[in-house]
């Protein structure tokens, strides 16, 4: 009997400790828990505009989860307020992924990203085109109206090379473990596993944007 009571008390004590730890990590809203719903980065990563809140999607064209996530994040970013900037950052941890990152930035420079972003996703995920070479990517762009010579010039340009290197550096700083993942203002990381669903993932992002918005307002009022 005494042994049973001792075991029960130990279990209750452990449960209280766990609940206390969760409470310590729950933000003011009481909805989301750091370490469970999102991760606070140990070292914040510099954003493109300190006067605006940056929401970054880290993705890979060959990732089926990213392809399924795309309609959700595309619809979401169209509703953002003016104080929020949405950024896409291609993941790079394999030579082929570097090629796909080049494709992303090439489309951006050529002004055809609105078309080619989904085209590349569909080529890799629906048509099973691995896009494993510059020629394969050039063929895809040419099919959608891009001059091959112009494509090659941009694809191999210093600007695109620098953009890919910067994306790789951001990825390391974000401590990315997979795709898709969302980063809020260079401070918070939300994974698909943490979000539980794409819709809930974006709700966590929205909440963290509001947290940063309040911080910026408080900082502005204090100065």
Domain boundaries, the chain: 29-222
Phi-psi region of 3 (alpha: psi -120 to 50; beta: other; left: phi over 0): alpha
CATH homologous superfamily of 29-222 equals Glutaredoxin (3.40.30.10)
Query: pLDDT tens digits, residue range 99-129?
Result: 999 999 999 999 999 999 999 999 999 999 9
Q: Which of 159, 182, 173 is nearest to 54 (CA)?
A: 182
Mean predicted lDDT score pLDDT of the chain: 88
CB-side neighbour CA atoms (13 Å) of 156: 9
Query: pLDDT tens digits, residue range 78-102?
Result: 999 999 999 999 999 999 999 999 9
pTM, two decimal places:
0.84
pLDDT of residue 29: 53
In terms of DSSP H, where are the helices of 111-183?
113-125, 134-143, 148-155, 158-174
Percentage of residues of the chain with pLDDT beyond 70:
86
Q: Give 20's pLDDT tier (boundaries 50, 70, 90).
A: very low
């Amino acid at each position: 009997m005494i042994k049973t009571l001792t075991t029960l008390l130990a279990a209750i004590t452990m449960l209280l400790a766990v609940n206390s730890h969760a409470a310590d990590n729950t933000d003011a809203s009481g909805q989301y828990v750091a370490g469970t719903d999102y991760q606070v980065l140990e070292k914040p990563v510099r954003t493109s505009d300190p006067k605006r809140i940056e929401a970054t999607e880290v993705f890979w064209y060959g990732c089926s989860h990213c392809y399924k996530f795309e309609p959700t994040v595309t619809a979401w970013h169209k509703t953002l307020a003016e104080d929020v900037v949405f950024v896409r950052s291609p993941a790079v941890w394999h030579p082929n992924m570097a090629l796909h990152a080049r494709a992303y930035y090439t489309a951006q420079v050529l002004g055809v990203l609105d078309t080619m972003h989904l085209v590349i996703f569909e080529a890799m995920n629906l048509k099973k085109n691995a896009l494993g070479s510059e020629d394969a990517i050039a063929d895809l762009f040419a099919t959608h109206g891009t001059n091959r010579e112009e494509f090659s010039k941009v694809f191999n340009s210093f600007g695109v090379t620098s953009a890919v290197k910067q994306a790789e550096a951001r990825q390391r700083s974000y401590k990315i473990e997979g795709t898709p993942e969302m980063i809020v203002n260079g401070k918070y990381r939300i994974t698909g596993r943490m979000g539980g669903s794409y819709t809930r993932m974006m709700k966590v992002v929205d909440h963290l944007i509001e947290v940063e918005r309040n911080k910026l307002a408080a900082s502005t009022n204090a100065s």
